[in-house]
Amino acid sequence: MATALARTAFRSVTFLKDDTQICDNKVITSHYTKLNFVPKNLMEQFSRPANLYFLFLCGLQMIPSVSTTGQIPTIALPLVFIIMLNGLKDLVEDYRRHKSDREENERITLSVEGSGEGARLTNTRWQEVRVGRMIVVTQNEFIPADMVLLSSAHEEGHCSIETANLDGETNLKTKNVPTAAFELVGECKDRNVAAKKASAIQGKIECELPNEFLYSFAGNITATGRSGQQKISLNEEHVLLRGCKLKNVAWVLGVVIYTGKESKIMMNSKEGKGRKLSHLDRQVSHMTAVIFGIQNLLCAIAAIISAIFETSPDNLQKKYLNLTNESGQAENAFVILVVRFFNFMILFSNFIPISLLVCMSIVKFLQVFFLWADADMQHQGLHCMPRTSDLNDELGQVEYVFSDKTGTLTCNIMDFRRFCVNGLCYGQGMTEIKRQVNIKMGKAVEDAPPPLPDSKRTPHVDLVDPAIDRLMESKTGKQYTAVRDFMLHLAINHEVVPEIDDGTGKIRNYSASSPDEAALCYGAQHFGYSFQNRDSSGVTIEVDGSMIRVQILATIKFNSARKRSSVIAKFTIPGEKERLVLYTKGADSIIMDRLAPEHKDSPETQQNLRILESFAEDGLRTLCLASRELTQEETDAWLKRWNEAQLATEKREEKQDAVSEGLEVNLTMNGITGIEDRLQEGVSDTIVKITRGGIKVWMLTGDKIETAVNIGVATGLLEAHEGVKGPRPVLTAKDYEDAKGDFQPDKLSTKLKDFAEHARMTAERGKMFEAMVIDGKCLETALEPTNTADFLAIGRVCRTVVCCRVSPKQKGAVVRLIKESEKVITLAIGDGANDCNMIQSADVGVGIRGLEGLQAFNVCDYGISQFRFLRLLLLVHGRWCYRRVAILANYMFYKNIVLVLPQYFLGCVSGFSGQKLYNDVLYQSYNVFFTFLPIMVFGVLDQDVSKKASLRYPELYTAGHQKMYMNRQVFVRWMVRGLWHALAVFFVPYCTMANGNITHSDGKANDIWLVGTVIFLLVCTVSNLTVLVETFYFHWLVHVGILLSALAWFMVQGYVSGLHGSVVNSELYGSTQRILGCPMVLLVIFVSCSSSVLIDIHLKGFECCFFPNILHHVQARVLTDMHSAPKRVK
C-alpha cells in the first residue's frame, strides 16, 4: 500500500509557537458564499450544454430579424423555472453545509497560554486553533485538530478514542503518549499542572506532510528536558485525529500538527474524481445529440425550401406574398437561408425537451424514498440507505455481482469453535456451514452436542469437548503445557481493548477492530486465561486467579503484505522463571515458511496441517499461532535496530519490515484456531434468485479454498457434487510449484490457455462451466496482460467464479477487468474496509452495515443491512426503476416530437414561411405545466408486476440485460410513434377546420390561431393519454396527475383567451368558448385522440399475441395464478 511514509519533505512544528503560515483550523465544506451564490451557481448551471443551448435560443428570440416571438424571449419562462428549481435545491443543500460548518467552527476547546508556571488554560474556539498550539481535550469531547499526545490523566499515559466519525467503527481504540514524552511531563492528575509542565519543555516535532492516510504516521519529537535533549519516535499510536471522541480518560494534552483542511478527516472528505454516471444517462446524452442533429437537419431543409420559395421568379410576381423589399428586389437567398434557419431553430426549440434532466433527477430522487421506506428491507431498525439517486436505473441492468464472504454472506459474528494443539483437535459437533453442505449433498447431519452439565458459558465461545475440560483440570503433562502456551498466546498477542463496566468494575466486553480477535480473546478467557487490562507498556492477564503483568517490549502490527502480527512479551508465571517470548500469528502459508526446519516436518505439525484442512472444509476461519523463546542479548540487539527503524524519517515502514523479518524465524507452532462465522439468513435463496435473473455471482474472499468452496456449496453458488453442471477448474498455487516449492507462473499460463481453449469450445456448443475456483497467487498471474484474455474466456462461460486468498487490490482489479473488458454493468457488495476498492471500482457499490465498521457503508452507493435485501434491491426496485426511467426518457423525446412536428407540417403547407402555429405562452408551458405531472407519477409509482411476482419470477430481470426499454430500436419506435401522433393531431384538425372550412354555426371561418389552439390541446391530450397506455399500476395519483394537467391547460388557456373578461392576448381572445362550444371541434378532438391512442393499444395487443416478451409471459402467469387461486369464503 502506498503511503506518505516515504516522503522526503517533513513539517517542523515548534511547541507553543502558532504557525500562521499554515492554514487555520476553520473548516469550510460549503460550496457558496452569500456574495458568490448567484454568479457561481448560474455559471455552473450554464456550463451544462442543455442550459447553454436554451440560453442561446433566448438570445435568438431577441434578434429582430430572426425572432418569431416579437423579440420576447418566451423560452426564458421554462428556462428560468428550471434554473430556479436547481438553484433552490443547491441553496438548501449549501445552507445545511453552512449550518454544520458554523456549529463545528464555534465549538470550544482548552488551549495553553503562556509557559512554565505562568501557563494557564483558556477557552478557544476550534477555528482559532493553530499548528504548534498545545490543547487539552476532556472526556467525551471531540478532538478539534490532529494532535500528538504529550500527557494524559491516566497513570500510564494512554487513552481510548471512538473513531465512528472517521472510519465508522464504534469499537474503542487505544492511543498512548510516547513513553519518553510521558516521562518528560511526568504523571499528572490535574490538567493545569500538566499544562505547566508540558509548556516548560522546549520541543519540536518533525512529521510527514499532511496526507489522507488514516492508519499511518511518521515523525519524531526533539525535546529538551531535565535530562537534556532526546529524540522520541512517533507513530500512529501517538496521534489523535480530528473528529474522534475521547473516552475512558478525564483529559489528554497534546500539540497540534495538522489543522483545518490539512487534517486527515478533511483530506479524506475531498470530493472524488467525479460522480458515477449511469449507462442510461449516457444513452440519453447520445439520444439528445441525435435529436439535436435531426433538429438541425429539419431546420436546414426548411430554410433551403424557404429560400428557394422566396427567390422563385413565379412567387416574386405574386405581390400578395410580399416577398420583395422596398425597392422591389428579392432578398439575397443566402441571407434568407440564414434568417430562416434561425427562425426554425426558435420554432423547433422544444425539439430537445428542456425539462428532461430535471424530470429524471426529480423522479430518481423520489424513487430513493421508496427504497428507504421499504419495510421488507429493514433489519433491526436499519433502513436501506441510498447515498445517490443517479444509479437507480443501473440497479435494473446488473450482469455481474462481486461479493465478499465474511460479513456479506456470513453474519461476521465470530464464535471460538475449535482449536488444535500438537495434532490433537478440541471441539465437537458439526458447524452450520458443514450442516448445510451435507444437506445439499444428501449426507447425514449430526445433532449439535448438548452442553455439559455446569459448563462455563462465555460470549462468542461455542466449544463443547469433555477432553479439553479434563485436561485443563489436570494441570499436568506435556499436552497441558502446550495448551497453556497456546492460551497465553491468545491472551497476549492482540490489540483488543477491554470495556469496563463503571458500576461493577468488571469487563463488560472486548472491543476489537476485527471480530476474530475478540473471539480469540473470549476463547482464552473461557479456559481461564482472561485478558484484563492494557496500557502503554503491556497487558495484564488473569491466570487461575493470579494477575500476571506482561510487558510488551515491541509490537509488529498486521498488514496486508505481512499477513501476520507479532509481539515480544516479557512475563513471569508464579512459581516459574521469567520468560521472554516472541508470539506470532497469521495465515498458515505465512507461518509455515517461518517455522524452524526441525518443526516444519515434525509429525505434530503435519497433523496440525491436516486438521487445519478439515477446519477449512467445515467452513471455519483458521489462524496459525507460533512462538519462539528469546534471549535477553538477542532481544536487546534487535530492539536497538527496531528503535533505529522507528526513528527513521525516510522509508520507515520498509525499514521496520526488514528488521522484523530477521526476528520472525525458527518458530515453533503453538496451534491452530477455528472460528465459526454463520451464514446470514436468506443468503442461499437470494443467490439462487438473482442467478435465475441472469446475474453472474462471483465470490472474492480472503479465505482458504476449502472454506470458500464449502461456503459456495452451502449458499447454492456451487453444486454439491462437482461436475453436475459442467467442469469446475480449480487453480491453486501449490499445483504449479516445482520440486523446491517455488511457484511457476509459466506452468499456470500454459494451463490457463488450455482451459481457455476448452472454454471457447464449450461456448460454441452452447454449454457452460459450472464454476472456476482460483487462489490469490494464481489470480495475480491470471491478471497479467498476457493472460487476461484467457482468464476472461474462462470466466465468460462460468456460471460463477470463486477467488480465494485475494487482497483488496486484487478484488478491485477483477471488478475493473470485467467492467472494462466485457462492457457490462457490475455491482460489488461488501462490508469491510478491504471491500472499499471493489465497491468503488464497480458501476454500483453496495455496502452492508456490518461489524467491521462503516468503511464500506460510507463509500457505497446503496447501503443495506443484510445480503438477502440484495434480491429486493435488484429484482424489484432496480428493475422497476430501470423500466420507469427508460420509458420516461423515451417519452420526453416523444412528447416534444408530437409538439414540434405539427409546426413543421404547417411549414410544409405554407412554404416554410416561419409562421407560428402555437401561442408562445402555451408553447413554453407545455413541458412545465401541461405534461409534467402524469409522467412524473409514472416514473415514481408504476409497477409492471407486483413485488411478490417480481420475486417469484426473477427471469423478468433479464429485460435489463437485453436493454428492452432503452435501445436504438426502442428509440426509433418511440420516434415513429411520435411522428404518427403528430400527423394525427395536425392533419385531422387542419383538413377539417382550415382552408376556409366552416365548423361553427355562425358561419365564420377559423383562423390559424384557433386551429393551432385545437392542435395544441390535442398534443397535450394525446401525450398524457400515452402515459396511461404505458401504465400498468393505476394508482389514484395517476388520475390526479391527468386531471391536474387538464385543469392547468384549461386555466392557462382560459386566461390567455380572456375568459375572465379582459383581453390578454388578442390572437386567442374568445378561442376557449369557440372550441368548447362547437360539436364539430369536439368530434375532431375525439377522432384525433382515437386514431392516435387506439393504434398504440392494438399494436401492443398484436405484440403480446404474436411476439410476446418475458414480461408478457410473466403477466400471463400472474393472471392465471390469480384466477386459479381459491376464492375466500365470505
* Residues involved in catalysis: 404
Q: Which of 685, 691, 700 is nearest to 408 (CA)?
A: 700
Q: How many CB atoms lie within 10 A of CB 175?
A: 23
Query: Whole-angstrom Cα distance, residue 668 to residue 100?
Result: 55
Q: Which of 156, 205, 201, 204 is nearest to 176 (CA)?
A: 156
By DSSP bridging, strand 228-234 and strand 219-225 are antiparallel
Query: Whole-angstrom Cα distance, residue 676 to residue 412?
Result: 9
| Exposed e or buried b per residue across 478-488, where buried means at least 16 C-beta atoms within 10 angstroms of its C-beta | eeeebbbbbbb
Number of residues that make up the chain: 1130
Query: Whole-angstrom Cα distance, residue 260 to residue 24?
Result: 6
Exposure on the CB side of residue 729, measured as CA atoms within 13 A: 23
Sheet of strand 108-113, all strands in order from the earlier edge strand to the far edge: 120-125, 108-113, 134-138, 251-258, 146-152, 239-240
Q: Which of 204, 253, 255, 203 is nearest to 224 (CA)?
A: 203
Residue 145, C-beta contacts closer than 8 angstroms, at least 6 positions apart:
25, 126, 129, 135, 242, 256, 257, 258, 259, 260, 263
Query: Whole-angstrom Cα distance, residue 824 to residue 840?
Result: 16
- CA triple 667-669-670, angle to 5 deg: 125
Tell me how far CA of residue 287 lies from CA of 241, 280, 282, 902, 970, in angstroms: 49, 10, 9, 21, 12
Q: Which three cell numbers stand for residue 905?
A: 407540417
Q: Which three cell numbers stand for residue 330?
A: 428579392
Query: Whole-angstrom Cα distance, residue 1074 to residue 1071?
Result: 5
Query: Whole-angstrom Cα distance, residue 933 to residue 894?
Result: 16
Helical pair 1008-1030 and 879-908, crossing angle rounded to 10 deg: 160
End-to-end CA distance of the chain: 69
Q: Which three cell numbers stand for residue 1101?
A: 395487443
DSSP state of 964: T
Query: Whole-angstrom Cα distance, residue 827 to residue 841?
Result: 9
By DSSP bridging, strand 158-162 and strand 245-247 are antiparallel
Query: Whole-angstrom Cα distance, residue 608 to residue 603?
Result: 8
719: left (phi over 0), alpha (psi -120 to 50) or beta: beta
**In contact, 668 and 596? CB cutoff 8 Å:** yes
213: left (phi over 0), alpha (psi -120 to 50) or beta: beta
Q: Which three cell numbers stand for residue 529?
A: 486465561
Query: Whole-angstrom Cα distance, residue 543 to residue 529?
Result: 5
* Host H or E run for residue 673: strand 668-679
Query: Whole-angstrom Cα distance, residue 714 to residue 545?
Result: 43
DSSP state of 955: G
Q: Which three cell numbers stand for residue 929?
A: 405545466
**In contact, 873 and 958? CB cutoff 8 Å:** no
Query: Whole-angstrom Cα distance, residue 619 to residue 609?
Result: 15
Q: Which three cell numbers stand for residue 973?
A: 419506435
